[in-house]
Amino acid sequence: MQMLGFLVLAITVIVVILFMRTFLASSYGRGLSRISERHQTEGFRAGSISILQTTDDNTDRTVLELLGIAAYQTNKDLDFGDAGQVDVLEELEWRMNEIYGEGNWYVKIPYPDIIPRYQMIIIVDSSGTLCDDFQNIRDNLPIIIEELRDPPYNYNIAATIFMLPGGSKCCGTGSEDVSLNCGGLFETEEYLHCINLDTEVVEDLDREMCEDNINPENGPGNIEQNEDWGRGLACAIDIGPYEGWYDFTAKIGIVLSDELPGGSENQGHSINQESLGIGIRAASGFLNVFPFKAYTGNGCCPSCGCDENCVENQCPECLFCVRAYNDDHYLFNENACNQDNTLDIYMNELAVATGGEVYELIDSERVVETIERILNEHIFDINPYLEIGTNPPTNKNINSEVVPVPVPFVGGYTNIYMYIWA
Amino acid sequence: MGTVQLVGKRWENSGLVENRKGCERLKGQAGYIMKPMMLIAVIILLIFLLQSLYSGVGKERIAQKNLDIVSAGTNVLLILANSEQCLAYESPVTYKTQGIILDIEKLDNFDIDSDNREPECARNYEFGWRVDVEQIRRDGSIDNSWDFGIKEFSEGQALNNEIRLWIPVAIKYPKGHSHCPEGCTELGKMNIRLVNGELENLAGFFDWACMMGQMGRMSTLSTELKISQPVVYKPNQNELCVGNSCRPLLCHLLYFDEGINSAGTYELTVNYQAPNKLLVGE
């Protein structure tokens, strides 16, 4: 019993010793660590402020200002005219190297949120058979764009719709003739715009392929070809989205049509291939094109039995309503129907050449849903930031600092994320 | 009861009772040895416990000292860089002080006026310090430099603790300055050497008492100081020296001409006499 008592006593004493030592050690260890951290934090903060407040010799602007401008322009090389050019990241680099040493730091400056990360151009065939599809875009795309921009998606997306010229009139507009073009159909939203590829817009372009028309037979002053989506794509790329092209963004092109580029009635002529070729050349290596194949009426091929004199309830699944001479007419689009397979091939060729994918629209209600699918199903390589330095290692204590940087012209802010390690 | 007797008889009869008694005797003899041994073991354990506690406390004190000096160094650097009374640049347009951006004019003034003393705006009465500011060129070379603060520090046995720290700073040149006529802000480093020792403690005590007296806050102050090297006061230069290191004082000392000649712990009392004298008593 006495031995057991002694053993218990000895263990208790050892536990007390260990506890006291641990307690004391952790106490002063924590204190030392806190002061050391404070010193490092204050030093780093002082360092980051001092570096960002220093001025460039040529422009007399602070590094902070330069980074704000570079973030807005999404470009590290800034041109100040007579004052000269500045490589902003180089200016930051030598300063950081002097203070923290090469290989011991990393800086990242995301572009301000006002600059979209996803830029989408949508080229819409403006023939009357697309009225129902466009109706879906008009009704739902603004809502979907907003939804995609909000959590949980957080796709910072901006879309610009390009209407091919010669917009047909749509049914259901009553006495008011409303054509398939931007005016009257589309209200401009902050991140959604619509541009008519009409004569005025196209003639302003330098690019020959666009200037020379969208319909070579009619000449530049008389553009009427509402299905020439190959050239239309080239023109839209040339014009650019409303906010202009940014280098770093995910660029998405959508072509919405139910006919061959230049019209299915021209199958067998070179016009279709020419249009497609122009579109592919313009888009390859620049943006991913996702052709949307609208319903061609292929369920009723080769004929609906009524051709151009149909009535509404006659094979309704194959008829399209178009408005002409102040009246609604129901048509069976025989050309589109017969060229359904060829349209598949054309669209697939464009998609493969540009890294996109063809989406077949089962009905007109699916247009916006399919746009959402593109974003969710495809991974786009985007780098929406300027960065310099060495990527932070995983096995070191990293000291970080976030410095707000005002972005001129937009009146907003972005952050500079600075990391250092010993 | 009957059962007990019967069992007792059986024990007696089998001779086992004798064995039991023998065991108890042995146990009693072992107890004489075990008890002192346990006592000794417990004492050893307690000594070990106390020693561990004391060593922990000792380590804590050393750590505390290190913390104090690092903390003091950080504070001095931050005060110098952020206080408008020290070096921080104040915008002539907004009258706002811009921290970490040093005013070139203030730097030049400190370089001249505070060549062998710590500027009052960042004075620490426990530590002595000297700062040098370097302006860095793009190629890493030093473009320009300034230094200020005390020049000599405690040495040898009189030195308790010492540290060197630095922070990056920006140096602001106003428009019209010969260095950059259009005005500019250059990159720089501010380095500090901070020392705690007998000279700093003793001079700090005298300067503190002088300042308190001049402010009318206190006229008599006492302190206990450990001295390991001879302390000499030079009245003509108004300097206090410990060993070979000297530093100037704010007030003149009276009755301290002999200084302190031998090592030991001294209790000093000073009385302030306006406008700038301290009467020293041991």
Nearest CA in chain B to A52: B170
Please give the average per-residue pLDDT across A202-216, as a whole number.
50
User: What residue segments make up the domains of chain A, in order of their start?
Assistant: 47-113+384-420, 118-377
User: Does residue A261 have a pLDDT over 60?
Assistant: yes
Give the residue from B166, B185, B192 with the most A CB atoms within 10 Å of its CB, the best one to mutate. Answer: B185
Give the ipTM.
0.71
* pLDDT per residue as tens digits for the range A11-47: 777 787 777 666 666 666 676 677 777 777 878 888 8
pLDDT value, residue B37: 80
What is the distance between the alpha carbons of residues A285 and A281, in angstroms, rounded to a whole number?
9
To the nearest whole number, what is the mean pLDDT of chain A?
80
pLDDT at residue B200, rounded to an integer: 95
Which is it for strands A105-110 and A359-360: parallel, antiparallel or unpaired? unpaired
- What's the pLDDT tens digit per position in B131-145? 999 999 988 899 999
Please check the confidence at residue A275 and state whether its pLDDT lies above 60.
Answer: yes
Q: Is residue B20 part of a domain?
A: no
Q: Is residue B254 part of a domain?
A: yes
Euclidean distance between CA atoms B203 and B196, whole angstroms: 11
Residue B183: both structure tokens together: 């005005």
Q: With both helix axes pointing from N to C terminus, report the angle between A270-283 and A340-354 in degrees, rounded to the nearest 10.
A: 20
Q: Which range, of A124-128, A182-186, A256-260, averages the lowest pLDDT? A: A182-186
pLDDT at B173: 93
Preferred mutation among A39, A41, A57, A63 to probe B, highest tally of B CBs within 10 A = A39
In a domain, B236, yes or no: yes
For A118-377, CATH number? 3.40.50.410
pLDDT of residue B6: 42
Give how many domains chain B has, as a whole number.
Answer: 1
Q: Which amino acid is at A223?
A: I
Q: pTM score, two decimals?
A: 0.71
Task: Return contacts of A102-106, CB within 8 angstroms, 24+ apart.
Answer: A103/A390, A104/A390, A104/A420, A104/A421, A104/A422, A105/A389, A105/A390, A105/A418, A105/A419, A105/A420, A105/A421, A106/A387, A106/A388, A106/A389, A106/A390, A106/A391, A106/A392, A106/A418, A106/A419
Question: A124-156 pLDDT, tens per residue?
Answer: 888 777 777 777 777 778 888 888 888 888 889
Contact A358, A340 (CB under 8 A): no
Question: pLDDT at residue A311 above 70?
Answer: no
> Among residues of chain B, what percentage have pLDDT more than 90?
55
pLDDT in tens, B25-60: 666 666 677 777 877 887 887 888 778 777 777 777
Nearest CB to B138; choose among A25, A36, A94 = A94
Q: Do the Cβ atoms of A323 and A169 come closer than 8 Å?
A: yes
B21 found inside a domain? no
Q: Which domain holds residue B237?
A: 200-281
- Domain assignment present for B271: yes
CB pairs under 8 A between A and B: 118
Please judge whether A6 and B53 are an interchain contact, meaning their C-beta atoms are less than 8 angstroms apart: no
Q: Is A53 a residue whose pLDDT tops 80?
A: yes
Residue A208 has pLDDT above 60, yes or no: no
Which residues of A touch chain B, with CB atoms under 8 Å apart? Answer: 2-3, 6, 9-10, 13-14, 16-17, 20-21, 24-25, 27-29, 31-32, 35-36, 38-39, 42-43, 46-47, 49-51, 53-55, 57, 60, 62, 94-95, 98-99
CB-based burial, A393-403: b 16+ in 10 Å, e otherwise: eeeeeebebeb
